[in-house]
Amino acid sequence: MRLILPKTFIEESEINRPLFFLAGPIRGGGNWQEKFCMAMAKLILEFFVVVPCRWQPGNNLFCHRVNGTEDKFPRQTAWEHHYLDLTAKKSKTHQGCIVFWLPVESKEQPRDDGQPYARDTYGELGSWRRNLAFDESIRLVVGAEPDFPGLSVIRENFRLDLADNSGFIIYSTMEETVNHAVQWVK
């Protein structure tokens, strides 16, 4: 496993293994990204994973961080867009997968800045849902805990935007979500 953390830039030519982008709530979401990475590492040995968390050396997975240029992107949003687009591009050759995991808000570490939980995630997910509607070659896997706020609306939007027979599934466990993301690149 090789982690690409904010705002590290590495050349596309250096990403010579499957690439995953983990999208979903950060503030208030608990540390689901670490669990997700560990679950992926049990199924696939060598891969890159873009994790938009600002992990520091004390994090269990920080040792997997790749070094690169740190001043290419003025903001994390630009960094995220770059790697989301690159992952979508690589997904067309079965070398990439954008993964959304939608956990309920953490009771132990809820969002504490006065902003709504998962506010950025809803927009990002909607954007990639529409991208998928226009380009079915994009590999997008979505999983959600059953009580994630607004899940029924998210499901309905996927149903309406994608062909009714597309078979798009929103998985209900992290294990299923990890398994299906890894299947896209194998």
- DSSP structure string for the chain: -EEE-TT-B--GGG--S-EEEEES--TTSTTHHHHHHHHHHTT-SS-EEE--S---TTSTTGGGBPP-BSSS-SSHHHHHHHHHHHHHHHHTTTSEEEEEEEPPPPSSS---SSSPTTHHHHHHHHHHHHHHHH-TTS-EEEEE-TT-TTHHHHHHHHHHHS-TTS---EESSHHHHHHHHHHHH-
35-53 pLDDT, tens per residue? Answer: 999 999 999 999 999 999 9
Q: Does this model's pTM top 0.85?
A: yes
CATH number (domain holding residue 88): 3.40.50.450
Q: What is the domain range of residue 134? A: 2-185
How large is the average pLDDT for residues 119-135? 95
C-alpha to C-alpha distance for 27 and 69, rounded to whole angstroms: 25
What is the chain's mean pLDDT, rounded? 95
Q: What is the pLDDT of residue 96?
A: 97
Cα 74 to Cα 5, 37, 71, 79, 175, distances in angstroms:
15, 27, 7, 8, 35
Number of folded domains that form the chain: 1
- pLDDT tier for residue 186 given thresholds of 50, 70 and 90: confident
pLDDT at 164: 63
Instruction: Kindly tell me if the per-residue pLDDT of 165 is higher than 80.
Output: no
Q: Is the pLDDT of residue 107 over 70?
A: yes
pLDDT confidence tier of residue 74, bands split at 50, 70 and 90: very high
Mean pLDDT of 17-27: 97
Peptide bond into 7 cis (omega under 30): yes
Taking residues 100-119, report their average pLDDT: 95
